[in-house]
Structure 1
Amino acid sequence: MITLSQRHKLRRRLDTRRAGLTLVEMIVVLAIIAVVAVLIVPNVIGRPDEARVTVAKTDLKTIATALRMYRLDNGDYPTTQQGLAALAGRPTSPPEPRAYPAEPYLTEVPTDPWGKAYIYRSPGLNGPYDLLSYGKDGEEGGEALDADLNERTR
């Protein structure tokens, strides 16, 4: 007859044998990871330039939103001289904002994904302001990845 304590010891011994993974299970897991990597990695690695364009478009929308908030608080957009720095810290050049919040509109002035500053002009050629990036080549105009990116004012 097996006592209760002997039964517990036997059960623990069986459980410890089952606790680890077998070599076959490890190979199956590694094979699944390899298949997933083969399917996904080429799609991600092959498109860094398209990803940069997407980041630039997102940055432009974020900056445009901050500019609209600035205008709502202060009655107008920052001047060209004040630039986008007015969104990251209270401007000291005239016209000084009436109601600048304790927390700035942006934590820092972003640069485009190619390491260049975003271009801001107020008043703009086609609206209250122009906000753009010259794209990969950093020059006005261009096509495909070198095309200018802008946020249209409404």
Structure 2
Amino acid sequence: MSHGHQQYRWLVGASILLTRGRQIKGIARYRRGFTIVELLIVIVVIGILAAISIVAYSGIQDRARYSSYRSDIGNINKAIMLYAVDNGAYPTNGVPAGGVATNVGTGTGNFISGLTPTYLSKIPDTQNWSNGANYYAYIWSANGANYKIIRVVPSGSVPAVELIGNIDIDPTRGNRSWGYWSAGGSGL
């Protein structure tokens, strides 16, 4: 073999090694980080999961608020029933039949007198929704023979979570209110 041929082999071998070294080095450099597409996919997936979590959490809060309303108005209803057993009639204050209920029971006041402290330690406060326009109303007939205790939304409809499976929708006000009433009190 001539000296020129050996030199050529050496140059070809060195060239292959250099080329392979660059390829290996290039692959290693490529594998060190993530591409912009991979990062965007991860960000989108995290965003979708966060949105689902926020919606689920909001639904849980609404159901908890509804459970609180249901419990509060149920306790008021039980107190009214006990009052009627002891006094022979339902309390005759609040909004008379045909009257307009406006923010009855939104504060800490006693909007059905005679119930506290004997039948309830205090009348539960209305936990207002963000617009502050929700309240409980107690409606009674003139002779104290019938009553209705309802949770009212003055306009629009109560939130959907309160309507699903709720058998106590007020027949007089439709989707604006629900609650409890005496046998003859549904039309009040």
Q: Which has the larger radius of gyration?
A: 2
Structure having the larger proportion of residues in strand = 2
**What TM-score, normalized by structure 2, do the two folds share?**
0.42
